[in-house]
Amino acid sequence: MPDIRRNLVTKPIFSVFKKILPPLSDTEREAMEAGDIWWDGDLFGGKPNWNKLHSIPKPELSADEQAFMDNQVNELCAMLDDYKIVQEDKDMPPEVWQYLGKQGFFSLIIPKEYGGRGFSAIANSTIVSKIASRSLSAAVTVMVPNSLGPGELLMHYGTQEQKDRWLPGLAVGDEIPCFALTGPEAGSDAGAIPDVGVVCKGMHEGKEVVGIRLNFSKRYITLAPVATVLGLAFKLNDPDGLMGEQPDLGITCALIPADHEGILIGRRHNPLNLAFMNGTVYGNDAFIPLDWIIGGPDYAGRGWRMLVECLSAGRGISLPALSTASGHLSARMTGAYSYVRRQFGMPIGKFEGVQEAMARIGGYTYILEACRKMTAGSLDLGQSPSVVTAIAKFHMTELGRQINTDAMDIHAGRGIQLGPKNYLGHGYMGIPISITVEGANILTRNLMIFGQGATRCHPYVLKEMEAAANPNPDEGLKDFDGLLVKHIGFGISNFFGSLFMGLTGAKLNTAPVSGETATYYKQLTRMSRALALCSDFSMLVLGGDLKRKEMISARLGDVLSHLYMASAVLKHYEDDGRQQGDLPMVHYAMHWHLSEIGKALTGFFANFPNRLVAGVLKFCVFPVGNRYQSAPDAVSQAVANTLLAPSVVRDRLTHLCFIGDAEGDPTGDMERAFMAMYDCRHLEKKLKQAQRAGDLPSKIPMLELYEIAAQKNIVTMQEHEQLKAMDALRFDAINVDEFDTERSLAKQNKAAPNAA
């Protein structure tokens, strides 16, 4: 009896719903509506369709993209001396800048008809990752023109005249772009931009035209010191009604030549001593014509929507690529160093304490690569999943931070001495940059992931909000009534489904595969149902207060995030052909994700304000307790051992780490020492056996030991030479750089003979 139900049940609930509905600002509403719902919608809905996940095409490079990787990218990496760039010149050499422009590194995303490369998102991500394994400064320089900026905004929103004017120059590097959004008073809260453009009449090219007079102050603008074209975000006002009746048009984006009158490129910042260009930009009564608005006058006031839509894509490429690069580099080099470096007569990688950290490096690197491919691949499918890319930005940069920390801990003194031999230091210094930009991580975790996810990904909430906002109350009530019935059924299904899965340990759930990974699909389905249940009760009980309960909502966001990343791991494993050698990393990753989901939900239950509801939810989700635990020690040791031996598994896990061929190249030297020592392992075993038998002395320098072994014919002369060559590579690889200073006694002693 829908009429009776609508009057007696739905109408009172509808009134309450309107009251508890969290208020949304215009910028929040536009951010909420931007982007697409993708796999995150399945995970939030409580019934993920795993066959749908498996049917998503595997992201792969085209023949042209692979050729670019094999040739131009490798050649660029070989040109980069990161120590010289960062510590000495504070800039890339002119020939590198020229090479970047000539070879199209600044136009990876610009269509071929404008002279660009026209590459896919997965190619963009892969290229930036490979460069970042060599030089973070160079990677950021390449990343920015191919991320949020004039090029991307022009392609999506620019007029044909604007595209013809700017894209060819951007494609060949004749034009260097930057985009000015952040200012001293407005960072993550872009709605608070104080920079203003006022519609007025002014002179342009000798004629009086209607245009915009700009005054602004921007900082943290990457590439600003060398930019020739400035993208600018500002609030546009029309007090005299020259563009219409609306006086406050809102955030607007414009494209301005950097040498335009009234535009001042300010001084350079020093972002943690890295060498990429970053600085300030100012406008002082700069007058521009209306057709410099990106998209033309019709796009006045639509800038925030444009920025949010482009950011939702950019977050899925640039910063995840940098973090993935840190994983590939750290996994390969730390594994090699842990085999080369000996303490107490054995490789340090054999100590369990070191293996625990190495397991994190290897396991997290597998997660990063899986998430990088799945997230960038979604963009090539025409998706713009704002929640997914926010997950990727936050969690992948945090994983990169942990990987860098573990790699530095294992390298110890070898990692903290900066110099040409150090391949970790600059990446370690630059990690906070990724944490900070494109939405600070605290904001991304606490407000964006669940804040957008709860509304956009939920099958009914956004539609219910739209019904509540309907200016026709009768139509709104009718729409809300139909949605409410479905929502109640959805909640009941999640409640009993969660309880049943909790009591059975999800063992009766179905999985799309058999074998060792089947149990993970079952557990993820169970936790997806738990997320849907807890989210519904949170919104029902807390209403608008949930927006302010950031610690509560962030924990639910963590559950969604780990569900997504775990899904990416399982898909990556399937896409790579279910490689047996990858299973240690898969097991490590899945144990970690499920453990983190368990921690997040346990924290949610412990801190939920309504203790009765918290108790009911806890019993429903974990009726026999939270049984999720981190990976067993045996799995951690298997991951560590994967990094300690040359294999196709190690190559696959670290394929984006550039290894230089030139003598003195830090990554090349470490890899060559590692391979030489691994090739000599049978000889070292022979020497140890001889020592245990008393045929060779113990605890003597290695070169002396090799000499005696040769004299006693324990090793052949050829083997003796192999051991000596190996030891020279080993010693050079573990060594660190030294420098003279003005007060150095070594420098004085060196000069003394000449003075005499």
pLDDT in tens, 501-553: 999 999 999 999 999 999 999 999 999 999 999 988 888 788 777 778 889 99
Task: Classify burial at 586, counting beta carbons within 10 Å of its beta carbon; exposed 0-12, middle 13-18, buried 19 or more.
Answer: buried
Three-class SS string for 140-168? HHHHHHHCCCHHHHHHHHCCHHHHHHHHH
DSSP 671: H
Task: Kindly state the average pLDDT of the residues 392-397.
Answer: 94
Cα distance between residue 728 and residue 461, in whole Å? 66
Q: Report which residue type is found at 238.
A: D
- The reported pLDDT for the residue numbered 756 is 36
C-alpha closest to that of 366 among 312, 403, 418: 403
Task: Kindly state the average pLDDT of the residues 712-726.
Answer: 95
Helices (H) and strands (E) in the chain, counts: 34, 9
For the 63-176 domain, the top CATH level (class) is mainly alpha
Measured N-to-C along each axis, helices 150-157 and 303-314 cross at an angle, to the nearest 10 degrees, of 120
- The reported pLDDT for the residue numbered 176 is 93
Task: Give pTM, 2 decimals.
Answer: 0.93
pLDDT over 60 (residue 23): no
Token digits for 43?
């995970």
Name the E strands within 269-410.
278-289, 342-343, 346-347
In sequence order, the β-bridge partners of residue 237 are 198, 248
- Percentage with pLDDT > 70 across the chain: 94
Q: Is 438 a catalytic residue?
A: yes
CATH H-level superfamily of 178-307: Butyryl-CoA Dehydrogenase, subunit A, domain 2 (2.40.110.10)
Instruction: List the catalytic residue out of 438, 464, 596, 671.
Output: 438
Cα distance between residue 669 and residue 728, in whole Å? 11
Asked if 569 and 586 touch (Cβ cutoff 8 Å), the reply is: yes
Within the chain, which residue ranges are assigned CATH 2.40.110.10? 178-307
Q: Report which residue type is found at 242.
A: L
Within the chain, which residue ranges are assigned CATH 1.10.540.10? 63-176
Q: Report which residue type is found at 549.
A: K
State pLDDT tens for residues 477-497.
777 777 778 888 888 999 999
Asked if 132 and 124 touch (Cβ cutoff 8 Å), the reply is: no
Helix or strand run (H / E) with residue 219: strand 207-222
- The reported pLDDT for the residue numbered 30 is 63
What mean pLDDT, rounded, does the chain reach?
91
Asked if 378 and 315 touch (Cβ cutoff 8 Å), the reply is: no
Q: How confident is the model at residue 32 (pLDDT cuts 50, 70, 90)?
A: low
